[in-house]
Amino acid sequence: MTEEALHDKHIAKVFVNAKAEPNLYTLPVTVTTIAGEVVHVLAVFQDTKPEGSAKGTVVTAHGAPGSHKDFKYVYPKLEEQDVRVIGINFPGCGYTEYDERLKNDNHERVQFVQQIIEKLGIDEKLIFIGHSRGSENCLKMAVNNLDICSGFISVNPIGIRAHKGGRPVFFFEFLALLWRLTWLRWFARPLLLFIYQNVAKFKISDPDVCGVAVNLMSGLDYSDAIPFIGRFNDHSKTNVQGVLLYGGNDFLIERSVSKEFFGLFEDSVEVTSPIHGADPNATTEAIAALKAGHKTIGVFCKKDGHFLQKDKADLIVESVLTMLKAN
């Protein structure tokens, strides 16, 4: 497809992959890198209700590695409640095509998501949910869209400094450089696949997705979340709220990083869930805090790990419904 043909269309098109997965669509997206290069990609994303929903829309941002399927325990429950879910798939992560000119940084990711929601015409009752690496994106998208946003939910959020899953930083930078040298990919691919499968214990089979994932980590500027938190705190007169969920047994992000991050948010209340998995009591307490008007709710999931979108799916869904009703 020519560049002109690719970007002449602004309406999402149905996408059918080899597995015939449902609810996948494409949209042309243009990203300008920090080097000034203009990159065109055909974004592949999930849309559970392309006709729209009067109840509201949730946009999800996955981790690294990850995809829209990171939220497979959440979006069916939201569908049952007539909430639309847009599942973002960032370039090179298994669905959306990759372009070697991309730098895989926060600057590009914000543009990528913003264009999708604008082209889909979503202009009210919007909630962003991000997992791990995607938590950075959901915070920024919420702050950049305060006029149409009801809230955001950060699941196992990264902090404002490198967590243990991102250290040592120089190691990730070395691996990223190794993969970027295309003439060395014959060596980098099996090495990265071994690391992600056997050390990090991710269920991943594509070495190039591993390469993009390590670049997403090396291209992460942790501290650039701070001004966005400040802007979120400053808008105390808006009804936009935030929910942060962090685990006591997270093998990638230590509690001290999560607590430090949560501590930057004002008008906050922390809820503790002492049990693994669904916790009706913690859910009730968190929802009560949201209804009381607190701006940010932290949920410390003492017995849970790095995939709280699975372990605390009910709490996430109830938080979404509560924030949508409030706005």
Nearest-angstrom CA–CA distance, 56 and 79: 11
pLDDT by residue (tens digit) across 85-137?
999 999 999 999 999 999 998 899 999 999 999 999 999 999 999 999 899 99
Backbone torsion region of residue 172, taken as left when φ is above 0, otherwise alpha when ψ lies between -120 and 50, otherwise beta: alpha
Return all residues near 315 (Cβ < 8 A) that are at least 6 apart: 245, 273, 278, 279, 282, 283, 286, 299
| Rounded CA separation 45/2 (Å) | 21
Q: What angle do CA 232, 238, 240 make, to 5 degrees?
A: 65
pLDDT in tens, 179-204: 999 999 999 999 999 998 888 888 88
The residues near 221 (Cβ < 8 Å, ≥ 6 apart) are 105, 106
Q: Report the percentage of the chain scoring pLDDT > 90.
A: 77
pLDDT at residue 3, rounded to an integer: 42
- Distance in angstroms (rounded) separating the CA atoms of residues 177 and 215: 8
Closest CA to 61 of 130, 161, 119: 130
Burial of 197 (0-12, 13-18, 19+ CB in 10 A): middle
250 secondary structure, DSSP code: -
User: Which pLDDT does position 5 carry in this prediction?
Assistant: 37
C-alpha span between 122 and 143 (Å, rounded): 16
Share of the chain above pLDDT 70, in %: 96
Locate the DSSP E strands across the chain: 13-14, 24-32, 38-47, 57-61, 84-87, 126-131, 149-155, 241-247, 268-273, 296-301
| 45: CB partners within 8 A, 6+ apart | 24, 25, 26, 27, 68, 86, 87, 88, 89, 95, 96, 116
pLDDT band at residue 164 under the 50/70/90 scheme: confident
Domain coordinates in residue numbering, the chain: 3-164+221-326, 166-218
Q: Is 3-164+221-326 assigned to CATH 3.40.1160.10?
A: no
Spatial distance between the Cα atoms of 324 and 314, rounded to a whole number of angstroms: 15
Q: Tens digit of pLDDT for each residue in 38-88?
A: 999 999 999 999 999 999 999 999 998 899 999 999 999 999 999 999 999
Task: State which H helix or E strand residue 282 sits in.
Answer: helix 280-291
Report the b/e string of 135-153 with b at 16+ CB within 10 A. bbbbbbbbbebeeebbbbb
* 265 touches 235 (CB < 8 A): no
Residues making up the chain, counted from first to last: 327
User: What is the distance, to the nearest Å, from the Cα of residue 289 to the centroid of all Cα atoms in its chain?
Assistant: 24
